[in-house]
Amino acid sequence: MINLDHLIQSRMFRLLSVACAVWIAAGFACVTSISAQSLSAHELIARMRPKSTGGFYARLRMEIHDSAASVKPIVLQVQIKGRRTETSLDILYQVIYPKDRKGEGVLLRRQDGKPTEGASYVPGGSITSFGPGDLLTPLFGSDLCYEDMDQGGFFNWENLAELGLATIEKRPCITVELSPSKDRDCGYTKVRSVIDTKRQVVLRLEKFTASSDPLHIIETTHVVTADNGRIVPDKFTVLTPIRNTSTLIEGHSQKAATYDNSQFKPEALLQLTRP
């Protein structure tokens, strides 16, 4: 998922419903105007870590493709309610379109020192709880998974290694690998981030489990210049090579919001409301 916490004042908050991830999603972030070439890998990643706290409301569009099946892409519109503090994250994804899937939802809750927990719901069924062992479950059948709902959370992981320089579409980049400590609940074992050193934006993420090949690859497909001059992604593609599937993600809107604790209890999955 894209890192919402670095884009609160930018155009991305108005046009992109994931950032942190996605948010979508996904961990794509931009840094300050200081040249990335002058920063070490540790300094660059430190600038990408989530710092802002508070609530937000977002919407995104998912287009799910299966290359092995002769079917049309599945298109979903999703709303996101989120709240981050210095030590916790509560985030709720709910399908608002199409009508036959409206109301499907997934809730993820993380708090320092406690196991990750969450719940999912499909209308007509019951609320189903999940724990740390379920974080790689696909989100609404897409190429995102529950772990990706913690947008950009991997930038807080303890272990960091600079893997060297790279080039994407003739743009100079640096590759940084992050991995969590053993006491963290994480679906992934490591994440490689390829960062455009001139425009200071993540162009590619590779997310690994136990395999030597990435489970998911996330690629920026379009960027825009925000009102504050930063370069930010507004479209990206999530690939799952082992399944030959992909999901295109595009944001539509984003705004700050205030929630009470009831908005992030499992029972909140039964109600599809906006703040």
> CATH code at 236?
2.50.20.10
HSE-CB at 175 with a 13 A cutoff on CA atoms is: 12
Instruction: For residues 253-259, give the mean pLDDT.
Output: 86
* Domain enclosing residue 17, as ranges: 4-270
pLDDT (0 to 100) of residue 117 = 96
Q: Domain tally for the chain?
A: 1
Instruction: Say which amino acid occupies 96.
Output: I
* Residue 140 covered by a domain: yes
Q: Does the residue 215 lie in any domain?
A: yes
Residue 238 has pLDDT above 80, yes or no: yes
Report which of 216, 151, 218 is spatially closest to residue 188, judged by C-alpha positions: 216
Residue 33 pLDDT > 50: no
Q: How far apart are CA 209 and CA 274, in angstroms?
A: 35
Give the pTM: 0.84
| Position 104 in a domain | yes
Reported as a single tens digit per residue, the pLDDT across 82-131 is 999 988 999 999 999 999 999 999 999 999 888 999 999 999 999 999 99
C-alpha of 262 from chain center: 23
Give the containing element (helix H, strand E) for 20. none
Task: Tell me, yes or no, whether 275 lies in a domain.
Answer: no
pLDDT of residue 124: 95
pLDDT at residue 32 tops 60: no
The strand ranges marked E within the chain are 21-25, 54-66, 74-84, 88-97, 105-111, 117-121, 128-130, 159-168, 171-179, 190-196, 201-208, 216-225, 231-240, 245-257
Does residue 240 sit within a domain? yes
